Structure 1
């Protein structure tokens, strides 16, 4: 049976991940490949040296950027609101909560209880449960009577079957002045909606999104969850705060991002063909000249404790980051003009080059292993003195500094027992490279390019 492609977005075709490459990108990639091939045949040693030197410089730039933001986060102006600063009931607008669901029957009852516990008046709270048309598991788990303010929105079957497509369908029925996305396993702070209203009310209209912090409620399940929790502590507790401090584009997290609904619609909402629609939307907000701010409010999530489940989730994230980078680099001059030099550089370092280093890591680790086993002779042509010293220094200093950044994130979030686990976090980074190559393989296959690999939830009881 042929799947229908549904018109579920207002994102222009040239800003959508429906296509992998634009015509200009395809020509540029072909030309670069031919040039590299000719250079490799003409002078393989020089070609290898140039590529190695370029990769070493890229590593230094990415590490320096991450270190700058990690250790410069302390002067960020994260939005904080005490109980006395929150608006009373009679000043609260209608707020829409979008909850995309797929095969979540085992955790649905607990999710409904958590959402019902949100401290927000029932008559001003619109909670839309977005359920796929053929998802018998979730539909069968829905209670006969939903709590006040809850509605079920059936998502028609069709291509692509993604979370952003479901959110776009839900957005059509949103009545709220503001809206937010929560995932099925989320445990948002009960006051989070009120804090978001306070954030919007105290900010100019061009501040169109506030991102709450994500943490994991099960960091101690095993080694993998400790590393995952430390990564989130570093990203949401330090790195994104650094982006906020320097007013750089913020790639949004997939949940607990709150929007002015009118601005979201004006942007065309989410790109249903991008599997990290959140990061893409954060960049589109910045390109419009609007801003995203970080807010002090926590949503707890379930950290993946099974390797296969983690790899599927991480592969989707990396694939989406590649899609986001390719989409926004279709017109690099226009991107530079809209983001400005600092924003353009931050986008390259946070989205594009960071993903590239994850792909390059195994190559450099293999060369390091070869050097330790066979000495410098096999790789001497690639690493003359200056290049070798730069590469070794960036590898040692970069790994130590990023390891320390993860430790600092653990201390910042009270995960003290996870600090010692960070001594082995390079193994976690190696797993990221496995996921990156898996993502690359999916990206080049049209049948898997927009495939949303489902993350299984409810593996650990909350």
Structure 2
């Protein structure tokens, strides 16, 4: 009965207050009058005064005539007095966070509402107008969970916090090189020794072709066959390995207080359109804000992206850093600058279009905590979230699923080297600095860094967390991007072959074979497919006679090319089918019949990459983003994420089971 009476009384008081004129309410609680206490239920005398004022029509009319500023903002002292009167805290300083718990409220009143954090608890800071005071006071009288987390502030404080929230940092002496030995950087395409060796090899090949014409094609065929058979064997073994469906390194659960500080590096150039989605994705990360730091790295002349970032009012843990113009204009150079400014124990890299699953950072931190000190890098899985758009996006999505959902888990389980993806790789900061950071001259800095970590006997693994990316929509954009990738793989192979004797001493024979199969094999595969196809067709139709005086050699070459073609195609189809099932791509197996067309485009990209390597080896061909029609919540809630079977699930039961539910790590 008492509770019912109190609730009814609260409702009555709220209705009375909401009917007051703002000027009368202001006159009641402002400091110039006798200080009033909070309008609680037990304060019957003051409530009677408020109700009496509400009944006086003459007083209300006079107040409306004298106060013409009921729609204006409150002064800081007025806001503080109102907060004291209604019993809510007042804030004259705001540590603004990206809206999460109160995203709808902030979106509805972006000029007056901000989400703040106090002792790890989100609160809503609101700056009411004079006209809104009666309604706000009435809402506070009614009570509720939202009111319990309300903080009163004023527009002046909000404007001041917005202005101080994010500024562009311009370091005058930023470090963009961490002492990679001269022999392990792509600053020179060929070292002096490699130039001399190349000349000697060409001379020897010419002499050999003159003395014994069959020797050169046989030697080349033998070399290509060995490398590509190794690549096909790795793909075939990965496609049949049951454990890749549930592979995940062990994790050690950590409370928020035990989590390490994390720094996110995001290099940006001409990415103004992607900035809102990027900041929204970063805001969804499940990691304590006080232990999180995001460094957005922009170029000095990219004022559009800088303005787009500042317009979004990013939270205090987001820093905007302008990369100085000295040195090469590449992504790894920007990453090295960010590495020098980062304060985190762990470092990760995201691209502008990335949509990581919210738990990715926590998953990586717990995996590092459970792993040995030699565990230097963790690669998250990458996936395309708009696979069905075009022919290119379909092939691109299959390619990503093959690499990140099947091949890389297989390589990680075998403790082999594997090339890192260009994004969502997580590092221990001290190891990253110790190995020299990223090579500022290599246009596929990810592959190069993976090889360098492997050479120095550090461990890498793949975590069960996905980052969704945007694929190029058309052939021209894809060619531009793939040309850069192939050029970078050539740079990486040439760099690590400069001191092959040292490389061989640092690695076992199996790991050396994997290195050549993955890097050199991928390059040769792009070239071998059209060559093998042409030679097979020519020999089968009799259009080209292979050395009429030595029919056995001609048929041997024909057989070798046929074996290469069948082995490569079979292994790729098996790998692709497994990847489509695991990633649950919206593609039918019939889509794989277009793979030969995709491989021909790959051969074209390889030719362009060779030309680009000779003409402008360090040129970074920028890929445009923001053109695809992507799902709204991909990555934020794990949509289309693959569900990895738990560790206790029997391998045979989990191998090809349909993955129907997203997995949140």
Give ranges in structure 2 of 5+ residues lacking alignment: 1-172, 631-665
Kept in 2: contact 1:5–1:159 (CA 8 A): no
Distance 2:547 2:599 in 1: 24
Say yes or no: does 1:12 pair with 2:143.
no
Matched residue, 2:387: 219
Equivalent in the alignment of 1:325: 493
Match among 289, 292, 296 for residue 122 of structure 1: 289
2:372 to 199, 204, 207: 204
| Deviation of 1:65 (Å) | 2.8
Q: 1:14 Cα deviation (Å)?
A: 1.1
The residue that corresponds to 2:238 in the other structure is 69
Matching of residues 57-456 of structure 1 within 5 Å: 57-72=226-241, 74=243, 78-79=247-248, 86-144=253-311, 145-375=313-543, 377-378=545-546, 383-445=553-615, 448-456=616-624
| Structure-2 separation of matches of 1:223 and 1:7 | 39
Say whether the 8 Å CA contact 1:211–1:295 is kept in structure 2.
Answer: yes
Give the whole-Å Cα distance in 2 for the aligned partners of 1:376 and 1:146.
Answer: 65
Consecutive unaligned residues of structure 1, counting only runs of 5 or more, are none
Distance across 1 between alignment mates of 2:178 and 2:423: 19
CA distance in 2, matches of 1:403, 1:5: 47
C-alpha deviations, 1:337-388, integer Å up to 9, x for none?
1122111111111112321232233322222332354446256658534443
Seen in structure 2, the aligned counterparts of structure 1 residues 402 and 355 have a Cα distance that, compared at 3 Å, is same
Look up the SS of the partner of 1:209 in the other structure.
strand
Shift of 1:7: 5.1
Residue 152 of structure 2: aligned partner: none
Measure, in 1, the Cα distance between the counterparts of 2:547 and 2:598: 27
Aligned partners of 1:78 and 1:293 also within 8 Å: no
SS, match of residue 214 in structure 1: strand
Contact 2:348 2:425 in 1 (8 A): yes
- Using the alignment, how far apart are the partners of 1:272 and 1:51 within structure 2? 33
SS in 2 for 1:232: helix
Bigger-Rg structure (1/2): 2
Which of 157, 179, 193 does residue 24 from structure 1 map onto? 193
- Give the secondary-structure state (helix, strand or coil) at the position aligned to 2:273: coil
Contact kept, 8 Å, 1:210 with 1:293, in 2: the verdict is yes
Contact 1:403 1:423 in 2 (8 A): no
Mapped to 2, the partners of 1:5 and 1:167 lie a distance apart of: 11
Is the contact between residue 76 and residue 245 of structure 1 (CA under 8 Å) also seen in structure 2? Answer: no
1:432-458 per-position Cα deviation (integer Å, ceiling 9, x unaligned): 11111111111112xx10000001101
Give the Cα separation in 2 of the matches to 1:235 and 1:379: 40
Task: State TM-score, norm by structure 2.
Answer: 0.66
CA contact (8 A) 1:234 1:406 kept: yes
1:44 corresponds in structure 2 to 213
Q: Distance in 1 between matches of 2:347 and 2:259?
A: 13
Q: Per chain length, whose mean CA-contact separation is higher, i.e. which structure has more relative contact order (CA < 8 Å, sep 6+)? A: 1
State the Cα deviation string for residues 213-249 of structure 1 (Å, max 9, x = none).
0001110111111110001111011111111121111
Three-state SS of the structure 2 residue aligned to 1:368 is helix
- Distance in 2, matches of 1:227 and 1:276, equals 21
Quick check: 266-275 or 335-344, which moved more?
Answer: 335-344
CA distance in 1, matches of 2:450, 2:336: 16
Give the Cα–Cα distance (whole angstroms) in 1 for the partners of residues 439 and 474 of structure 2: 29
Could you tell me whether the CA contact under 8 Å between 1:11 and 1:271 is conserved in 2? yes
Q: Say whether the 8 Å CA contact 2:356–2:467 is kept in structure 1.
A: yes
Q: Given the superposition, is the C-alpha separation of residues 416 and 293 from structure 1 closer, same or farther in structure 2, using an over 3 Å criterion?
A: same
Q: Following TM superposition, by how much is the alpha carbon of 1:315 offset from its aligned partner in structure 2, in angstroms?
A: 0.8
Contact 2:532 2:562 in 1 (8 A): no
Aligned length: 455
Q: In structure 2, how many angstroms separate the alpha carbons of the residues matched to 1:434 and 1:379?
A: 29
